[in-house]
């Protein structure tokens, strides 16, 4: 039985307001990130020959996309769902200005893939801003039943408006 | 390990050649938890085995797609060197990689062309596990300077179409 309804499809084209990341690019957060991906490149930590042309220590290229976290004092979905056995813990994309698609909230979320285009690294201390839109929502039948593909386009910029990267992500809901 | 230590120029690139493989793993639950904490993503399929298997019907905890894409970017960054620029990357998560696997991130030069002021290299990419199964096929486009040319523009300026 198809999942997609006209109400769900009406989200296509919705564009968010610009959202400012709640934290600047912090040296300690970059360290934890670089260590977690096992890429302790000096350019992510201190001024060196390799980051001289970037203006000093930078964050890894995808770091700006993961900088949009729950801001201080915002509702805590983990606590709100502490008694919900179906809560899957998936909270990170709730921000970034796009509304959750109500008709898909009962479905699991899988990462389908991305198209990325990079222009500049974020420097330590910089602030990142994102604007996103639902570019497409469509359904396909699979061997495990219907799956909905939600395509989200995003532009990440510095607070000065300099383009860092563009991302076009596909989220699979089933 | 940091590989980003040498310069590569457009003239050095050979079509059809493999670029140096990047190996990560075996990736344990601890690796996945460390990554989840670093990015503050609490999706249970990466650390709560009972939820992953019994609730979501998955075979085991899954290596994060977001972690696999970091590995692809590292592969390309290290190959492009400090003088190059990883311009475009795309990939699809076609298969799951359960916790415990070792991932081999690979790239192969699919083509190259000179544009105004620098060179462009297209690559095929992917991630295979120990059994050789591909999970994350993709493509990338990397800009490299000419040996006797100027540095790449920064911030990067895409070539005219």
Distance CA A173, CA A108 (A): 5
pLDDT class of A32 with cuts at 50, 70, 90:
very high
- B129: in domain: yes
Quickly count: other Cβ atoms within 10 Å of residue B154's Cβ.
13
In the stretch 26-65 of chain B, residues with CB closer than 8 A to chain A read: 31, 34-35, 37-45, 48, 51, 55-56, 64-65
Q: Which helix (H) or strand (E) holds A28?
A: helix A27-36
Residue A61: CATH number of its domain: 3.10.129.10
Residue A1 domain-assigned (yes or no) = no
- Mean predicted confidence (pLDDT) in B98-115: 98
At A107, is the pLDDT very low, low, confident or very high (cuts 50, 70, 90)?
confident
The total number of structural domains in chain A stands at 1
Sign of the alpha-carbon torsion through B69, B75, B77, B78:
positive
Q: For residue A35, what is the enclosing H or E element?
A: helix A27-36
Q: In this structure, what are the phi and psi dihedrals at residue A7, rounded to the nearest 5 degrees?
A: -65, -45
pLDDT above 90 for A2: no
- Residue holding tokens 């390799």? A50
String of b and e for A135-154 (b: at least 16 CB within 10 Å)? bebebeeeeeeebbbbbbbb
Looking at residue A92, its pLDDT comes to 59
B102 in contact with chain A, both atoms CB, cutoff 8 A: no
Judge whether A140 lies within some domain: yes
Highest mean pLDDT: which of A55-59, A106-110, A145-149?
Answer: A55-59
Tell me the per-residue pLDDT of B12-28, one tens digit each, with 9 for 90 and over: 999 999 999 999 999 99
Residue B79 lies in a domain: yes
Is it the case that residue A94 has pLDDT exceeding 70? no
**Facing residue for A112 by CB, picked from B2, B40, B92:** B92
pLDDT in tens, B122-145: 999 999 999 999 999 999 999 999
Q: What is the band of B5 on the pLDDT scale with cuts at 50, 70, 90?
A: low
pLDDT at A27 over 60: yes
> To the nearest whole number, what is the mean pLDDT of chain B?
95
What DSSP letter does each residue of A2-40 carry, written as one string? ----HHHHTTTT-BPPPEE-SS---HHHHHHHHHHTT--
- What is chain B's Cα-based Rg? 18
Which of B43, B64, B125 would you mutate first to test chain A, the one with the most A CBs within 10 A? B43
Comparing A2-11, B63-72, B101-110, the range with the smallest average pLDDT is: A2-11
Query: How many structural domains are present in chain B?
Result: 1
pLDDT the model gives residue A37: 98
Is B156 inside a domain boundary? no
What is the pLDDT, as a whole number, of residue A96?
A: 66
Q: A37 in a domain, yes or no?
A: yes
How far is residue A156's CA from residue A138's CA, in Å, rounded to a whole number? Answer: 25
Residue B131 lies in a domain: yes
* Helices and strands in chain B, H and E counts: 3, 5
Structural domain boundaries enclosing A128: 6-173
Q: Which domain holds residue B61?
A: 10-144
pLDDT value, residue B6: 72
CATH number of the domain bearing residue B64: 3.10.129.10
Q: What is the ipTM of this complex?
A: 0.94
Evaluate whether residue A65 is within a structural domain: yes
Percent of chain A with pLDDT over 70: 97
Give me the mean pLDDT over the A32-43 stretch: 98
- The predicted pLDDT at position A3 comes to 83
pLDDT averaged over every residue in chain A: 92
Contact A61 B151 (CB under 8 A): no
Give domain status of residue A98, yes or no: yes
The answer to the question of residue A80 being in a domain is yes
């Amino acid at each position: 039985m198809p999942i997609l309804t006209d109400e769900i499809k009406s989200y296509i084209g919705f564009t968010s307001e610009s959202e400012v990341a709640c934290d600047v690019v912090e040296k300690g957060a970059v360290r934890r990130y670089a260590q977690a991906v096992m890429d302790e490149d000096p350019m992510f930590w201190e001024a060196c020959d390799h980051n001289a042309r970037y203006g000093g220590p930078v964050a890894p290229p995808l770091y700006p996309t993961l900088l949009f976290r729950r801001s201080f004092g915002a509702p805590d979905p983990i606590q709100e769902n502490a008694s919900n056995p179906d809560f899957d813990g998936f909270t990170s994309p709730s921000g970034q200005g796009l509304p959750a698609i109500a008709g898909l909230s009962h479905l699991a979320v899988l990462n389908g893939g991305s198209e990325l285009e990079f222009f500049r690294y974020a420097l330590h201390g910089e602030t990142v801003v994102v604007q996103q839109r639902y570019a497409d929502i469509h359904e396909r039948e699979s061997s495990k039943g219907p799956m909905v593909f939600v395509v989200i386009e995003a532009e990440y910029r510095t607070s000065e408006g300099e383009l860092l990267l563009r991302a076009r992500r596909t989220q699979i809901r089933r | 390990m940091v590989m980003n230590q040498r310069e590569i120029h457009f003239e050095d690139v050979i079509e059809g050649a493999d670029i140096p493989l990047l190996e990560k793993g075996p990736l344990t639950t601890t690796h996945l938890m460390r990554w989840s904490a670093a990015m503050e993503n609490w999706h249970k399929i990466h650390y709560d085995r009972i939820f992953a298997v019994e609730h979501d019907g998955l075979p085991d905890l899954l290596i994060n797609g977001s972690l696999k894409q970091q590995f692809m970017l590292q592969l390309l960054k290290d190959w492009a060197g400090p003088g190059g620029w990883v311009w475009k990357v795309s990939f699809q998560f076609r298969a799951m990689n359960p916790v415990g696997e070792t991932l081999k991130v690979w790239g192969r030069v699919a083509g190259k062309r000179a544009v105004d002021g620098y060179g462009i290299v297209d690559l095929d990419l992917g991630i295979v596990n120990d059994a050789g199964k591909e999970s994350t096929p993709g493509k990338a486009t990397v800009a490299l300077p000419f040996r006797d040319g100027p540095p790449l523009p920064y911030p990067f300026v895409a070539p005219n179409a």
